[in-house]
Amino acid sequence: MHVTFTDQELAFRDEVRAFFRDKLPDDIRKKQQHGVPLDREDYIRFQKVLHERGWAGINWPVEYGGTGWTSVQQYIFATEQAEANAPDVIAFGLKMVGPVIYTFGNEEQKRRFLPDILASNVWWCQGYSEPGAGSDLAALKTRADLAGDHYVVNGTKSWTTLGQHADWIFCLVRTNTDVARRQEGISFLLIDMSTPGITVKPIITIEGEHEVNDVYFDNVKVPVENLVGEEGKGWTYGKVLLQHERTNIAGVARSKYRLRKLRAQAARRVRGEPPLATDRNFLRKLAAVEVELKALEYTDLRTLAAVASGKAPGPESSILKLRGTELQQAIDELYVEAAAYYALPYVPDQYVLGFPEAERVGEGAETKTSLRYFNFRKASIYAGSNEIQKNIIAKHVLGL
Amino acid sequence: MDLSLNEVQLMLQDSVEKFIANDYDFETRQSYAASKAGYSAEVWQQFAELGWTAVPFSEDDGGFDGGPVEVMVLMQQFGRGLVVEPYLANVILAGGVLQRVASDTQKRDWLLPIIAGELQAALAFVEPQSRYDIANVVTSAKKDGDGWLLTGTKGVVLNGGNAGLLIVPARTSGAQSDSDGISLFAVTTDTAGLSRKSYPTVDGHQAAEVKLDNVRVDASALLGDVDRGYETLDAVIDEATLAISAEAVGIMRILTDKTVEYTKNRVQFGVPISSFQALQHRMVDMFTACEQSQSLLMWATMVNAERTDEAKRAVSAIKYQIGTTGKKVGQEAVQLHGGMGVSWELDIAHYFKRLTAIGQLFGNADWHLDKLGV
């Protein structure tokens, strides 16, 4: 057991640091710095930069074009990525459907889909939740009825993140209703979003942005070759994917970066006033979150090490989702506290590049703090609500 | 001791309740919030006709002779209705200052029009560096002949963009955070040298950044005595803190009711999610927070209405209480509504945002706990 990096690891860190310094497009870095939302092309541009370097498939096996990195390398990469103000990759392709296809797909599917996922030529979104199936995902009703060489899909998927940008959607659909357990009639289907019969409608979230959607399927014809693995086994595949999603969700590196930035902000004087960093109440809360985050950082590292040694992330990954999102939300609250009255202005227009600094509302403060706080209440709800994570730990880890 | 409302107070409660139920549903509220002014001028006129804009003022001033209890009754219902009309900024804050220190002439010019619903006013008590310290005033007022020259920056002035009149605390002597040496000025917003940038706030209300660049006002603009403005400000902010605490309790209650109702109807795993004990206990905590906050609110309001020795501490106690439990109830209401809780379309998100904004106003929980600790 030792905590310091080896010379090799240090060299790797320098390599990653140099990569982000030299290759991350400056406008994307600036947008990230100023809280300007990235558009579709920004993400694609960034992910293509990663791909050119061979770093798009962080957790993919080498045989499918992945990095084959150790857990420590993955950790170093995530840290440098956050420190460089680089965005996260959109998870749906690279971190979700990709692993499902290389694990459970057939050779034809691997050949057909994986290269475009790695190269970010195709934008994927996720069709899991439905209006009547949230925490109880197995209650999903979207049907796929076999009709010769294709399925006919009917139903509604909800909360589909960035579905407005997507070329393809991976869906959990019901292919059989005559089963003993509801989970057994579910299949994993890949659907081209340009197929006739698909409608995407925006859902505006609490802070006023268009991030999620309802996706309606009305007699959508999907070729049978788009079924991943076996019919009726979709639940198993989907669960593996969710566990991957949950390990990605802890966001430790990003949270560390945000805490450090908050400390720096709290140390600034506004118009000669003593900085917030002289307020012991605030400092104690900040310190408490830092301790919790350190603990999560090492829980994350332990999980990554287990995965790198060949194990799939188990139900323990629920801890990462649970604590990771709780800490993200705790940091959001500290930002709101730090802003005092400047948590109130709602001026999304000023979050564009080139907005004149003199006209910005919120001198010395981060006025987007409360918007982020509101938006991130979703974190304890999505990807299996935190209540569901506790159920998973209770049932599958503690055997209760 | 008597914890019940009197007949007049019950009538007031009844009339606001009816107004919210009949004329102020959530969609209507959203349309007012989305309008340019951020509130309905017609509704404001209705408030005046119903006598609500007169509630906290004495009969001599043309008011209803109400006090903290009547304001509490009104604000709790405003909370339930998520009212965006600038009652706090206009009546409680600006009106509160005028009521206390304005001369008869000033009252005729400014307070009567507020009561009549003809004038929007605002109190500019925040500066970019001040956080929650209302004594922290850099904006300066310098003698200029028989008038004054005002220079400085005011931040997050509630209702500042709609206001025809701003009440501006400015330093006439002393150091940056001294409570002595602050004077209050009534400045009409068309005065040369005054510029504003108005914007919506996250809770559907409006505020403005205000710059004063050698704004010249006559001697008649001074409200009360030179250098003695702090006491007035402090008393008005206390009254306003009580008012928004009442609003918060109204919101907490309706959020708890709506959450209980939602979980009874939301079916997952074949049963209403209200049948899960883990969720039941959380709703019991929400309910308990509402009851405790209601109790503390009533005590704080009464000791302030009767000006007992505990009045000042009671203000901090209730603001601490709603700062902590208000946040908790708001977050839990969102969480138990799942994805629906973070949808713009549903009122839950907007109640939560208003509770969050209230938590930031006039000092957060820590600020008031510190005051109680000394």
Which chain B residues are closer than 8 Å to A204 by Cβ?
Answer: 343-345
Domain containing residue B338: CATH number: 1.20.140.10
Please indicate, yes or no, whether residues B27 and B69 belong to a single structural domain of this protein: yes
Please indicate, yes or no, whether residues B128 and B45 belong to a single structural domain of this protein: no
Name the H helices within A227-339: 234-249, 252-266, 280-308, 317-339
Read off the pLDDT of each residue in B142-161 and give the average, rounded to a whole number: 97
To the nearest whole angstrom, how far is the Cα of B137 from the nearest Cα of chain A?
11
Which chain B residues are closer than 8 Å to A134 by Cβ?
Answer: 268, 338-339
Span A62-78, pLDDT tens digits? 999 999 898 899 999 99
Please indicate, yes or no, whether residues B213 and B346 belong to a single structural domain of this protein: no
Read off the pLDDT of each residue in A45-60 and give the average, rounded to a whole number: 95
The total number of structural domains in chain B stands at 3
Residue closest to B217 by CA, chosen among B181, B177, B252, B186: B186
Mutation site, B360, B361, B368, interface A, largest A CB count within 10 A: B360
Please indicate, yes or no, whether residues B194 and B323 belong to a single structural domain of this protein: no
> Does residue B296 belong to any structural domain of this protein?
yes
β-strand B165-171 against B121-123: which pairing, if any? parallel
Span B30-70, pLDDT tens digits? 999 999 999 999 999 999 999 999 999 999 999 999 999 99
DSSP SS3 for A135: coil
> Does residue B190 belong to any structural domain of this protein?
yes
> Does residue A98 belong to any structural domain of this protein?
no
Please indicate, yes or no, whether residues A256 and A388 belong to a single structural domain of this protein: yes
Q: Distance between alpha carbon B80 and the CA centroid of its chain, in Å?
A: 14
To the nearest whole angstrom, how far is the Cα of B343 from the nearest Cα of chain A?
4
Question: Which region among A205-214, A298-307, B190-199 has the lowest average model confidence (pLDDT)?
Answer: A298-307
Read off the pLDDT of each residue in B97-125 and give the average, rounded to a whole number: 98
Please indicate, yes or no, whether residues B366 and B266 belong to a single structural domain of this protein: yes
DSSP SS3 for B233: helix
DSSP H or E run through A11? helix A7-23
d(CA B225, CA B101): 8
> Does residue A282 belong to any structural domain of this protein?
yes
d(CA A190, CA A175): 14
Domain boundary among B51, B84, B119: B119
- Contact (CB<8Å) B197/A361: yes
Please indicate, yes or no, whether residues A48 and A175 belong to a single structural domain of this protein: no
Please indicate, yes or no, whether residues B244 and B188 belong to a single structural domain of this protein: no
β-strand A210-223 against A150-157: which pairing, if any? antiparallel
Range of the domain at A355: 250-397
Q: How many beta-carbon contacts under 8 Å exist across A and B?
A: 138
Q: What pLDDT shows up at residue B148?
A: 98
- Contact (CB<8Å) B366/A363: no
What are phi and psi for residue B57, nearest 5 degrees?
Answer: -100, 155
- Triad A167, A97, A131: Cα angle to 5°: 75
d(CA A94, CA A79): 19
> Does residue B2 belong to any structural domain of this protein?
no
> Does residue B88 belong to any structural domain of this protein?
yes
- Contact (CB<8Å) A361/B268: no
Residue closest to B269 by CA, chosen among A391, A157, A381, A174: A391
d(CA B74, CA B246): 8
> Does residue B166 belong to any structural domain of this protein?
yes
State how far the alpha carbon of A211 is from the alpha carbons of A130, A204, A343, B52, B202, in Å: 16, 7, 22, 41, 18
> Does residue B148 belong to any structural domain of this protein?
yes
Task: Write out residues 335-374 of B within 8 Å (CB-CB) of A.
Answer: 335, 338-339, 341-345, 349, 352-353, 356-357, 360-361, 364, 366, 369-370
Q: What pLDDT shows up at residue B313?
A: 98
- Contact (CB<8Å) A135/B268: yes
Q: Nearest-CA residue of chain A relative to B346?
A: A206
Domain boundary among B208, B227, B246: B227
Which chain A residues are closer than 8 Å to B341 by Cβ?
Answer: 206, 377, 381
Q: What pLDDT shows up at residue A274?
A: 82
pLDDT band at B272 (very low <50, low <70, confident <90, very high): very high
The answer to whether B160 and B124 have CB atoms below 8 angstroms apart is yes
Please indicate, yes or no, whether residues B220 and B262 belong to a single structural domain of this protein: no
Task: Write out residues 50-109 of A within 8 Å (CB-CB) of B.
Answer: none
Name the residue facing B201 among A203, A345, A373 (closest C-beta). A345
A315–chain B Cβ distance below 8 A for any pair: no
Please indicate, yes or no, whether residues A306 and A361 belong to a single structural domain of this protein: yes
Domain containing residue B131: CATH number: 2.40.110.10
The answer to whether A268 and A275 have CB atoms below 8 angstroms apart is yes
Domain boundary among B198, B227, B256: B227
Q: Nearest-CA residue of chain A relative to B358?
A: A344
B184–chain A Cβ distance below 8 A for any pair: no
To the nearest whole angstrom, how far is the Cα of B290 from the nearest Cα of chain A?
22
Count CB-CB contacts under 10 A for residue B271: 11
A271–chain B Cβ distance below 8 A for any pair: yes
The answer to whether A175 and A183 have CB atoms below 8 angstroms apart is no
Please indicate, yes or no, whether residues A82 and A140 belong to a single structural domain of this protein: no
pLDDT band at A248 (very low <50, low <70, confident <90, very high): low
A133: which DSSP letter? Answer: B
Q: What pLDDT shows up at residue A314?
A: 75
Which chain B residues are closer than 8 Å to A206 by Cβ?
Answer: 334, 341-344, 349, 352-353
d(CA A169, CA A199): 12
Place of tokens 């289907």: A189
Range of the domain at B35: 7-119
Is pLDDT of B137 > 80? yes
> Does residue A20 belong to any structural domain of this protein?
yes
Please indicate, yes or no, whether residues A38 and A160 belong to a single structural domain of this protein: no
Please indicate, yes or no, whether residues A222 and A260 belong to a single structural domain of this protein: no
Name the H helices within B131-276: 229-265
Span A26-49, pLDDT tens digits? 999 998 888 888 999 999 999 999
Structure tokens at B356: 């969050």
- Contact (CB<8Å) B338/A385: yes
Please indicate, yes or no, whether residues B237 and B141 belong to a single structural domain of this protein: no
Is pLDDT of A385 > 80? yes
pLDDT band at A364 (very low <50, low <70, confident <90, very high): low
Span B206-240, pLDDT tens digits? 999 999 999 999 999 999 999 999 999 999 999 99
- Contact (CB<8Å) A377/B331: yes
Please indicate, yes or no, whether residues B66 and B135 belong to a single structural domain of this protein: no
Stated length of chain A = 400
Please indicate, yes or no, whether residues A212 and A278 belong to a single structural domain of this protein: no
Please indicate, yes or no, whether residues A384 and A263 belong to a single structural domain of this protein: yes
Average pLDDT over all residues of chain A: 92
B214–chain A Cβ distance below 8 A for any pair: no
Strand partners, B181: none
Please indicate, yes or no, whether residues A290 and A389 belong to a single structural domain of this protein: yes
Is pLDDT of A109 > 90? yes
Structure tokens at A244: 């991957």
Task: Write out residues 115-144 of A within 8 Å (CB-CB) of B.
Answer: 129, 132-136, 139
> Does residue B53 belong to any structural domain of this protein?
yes
Sign of CA pseudo-dihedral B105, B106, B110, B112: negative
Please indicate, yes or no, whether residues A213 and A317 belong to a single structural domain of this protein: no
- Contact (CB<8Å) B366/A282: yes
Please indicate, yes or no, whether residues B109 and B50 belong to a single structural domain of this protein: yes
Terminal-to-terminal C-alpha distance of chain B = 29
Please indicate, yes or no, whether residues B143 and B111 belong to a single structural domain of this protein: no
Q: Nearest-CA residue of chain A relative to B129?
A: A270
Is pLDDT of B125 > 70? yes
pLDDT band at B149 (very low <50, low <70, confident <90, very high): very high
Task: Write out residues 288-317 of B within 8 Å (CB-CB) of A.
Answer: none
Please indicate, yes or no, whether residues B20 and B57 belong to a single structural domain of this protein: yes
Read off the pLDDT of each residue in A254-267 and give the average, rounded to a whole number: 92
As a 3-state breakdown, chain B gives helix, strand, coil percent values, each rounded to 5, of 55, 15, 30
d(CA B102, CA A105): 79
- Contact (CB<8Å) A281/B202: no
B166–chain A Cβ distance below 8 A for any pair: no
pLDDT band at A270 (very low <50, low <70, confident <90, very high): confident
- Contact (CB<8Å) B364/A340: yes
Look up residue A246 and give its amino acid: R
Please indicate, yes or no, whether residues A223 and A255 belong to a single structural domain of this protein: no
What are phi and psi for residue B195, nearest 5 degrees?
Answer: -130, 150
What residues have CB less than 8 Å from A269, skipping those under 6 apart? A275
B66: which DSSP letter? Answer: -
Which chain B residues are closer than 8 Å to A275 by Cβ?
Answer: none
Is pLDDT of A246 > 70? no
Domain containing residue A380: CATH number: 1.20.140.10
Strand partners, A284: none
Which chain A residues are closer than 8 Å to B334 by Cβ?
Answer: 206, 377
> Does residue A365 belong to any structural domain of this protein?
yes
pTM, full prediction = 0.96
β-strand B147-158 against B206-217: which pairing, if any? antiparallel
DSSP SS3 for A290: helix
Q: What pLDDT shows up at residue A363?
A: 63
DSSP track, B246-288 = HHHHHHHHHHHHHHHHHHHH-EETTEEGGG-HHHHHHHHHHHH
What percent of chain B has pLDDT above 70? Answer: 100
> Does residue A316 belong to any structural domain of this protein?
yes
Q: Distance between alpha carbon A51 and the CA centroid of its chain, in Å?
A: 18
Q: Nearest-CA residue of chain A relative to B366?
A: A281
Which chain B residues are closer than 8 Å to A337 by Cβ?
Answer: 364, 366
The answer to whether B55 and B70 have CB atoms below 8 angstroms apart is yes
> Does residue B256 belong to any structural domain of this protein?
yes
The total number of structural domains in chain A stands at 3
Task: Write out residues 239-278 of B within 8 Å (CB-CB) of A.
Answer: 267-270, 273, 278
Domain boundary among A184, A202, A232: A232
pLDDT band at A356 (very low <50, low <70, confident <90, very high): confident
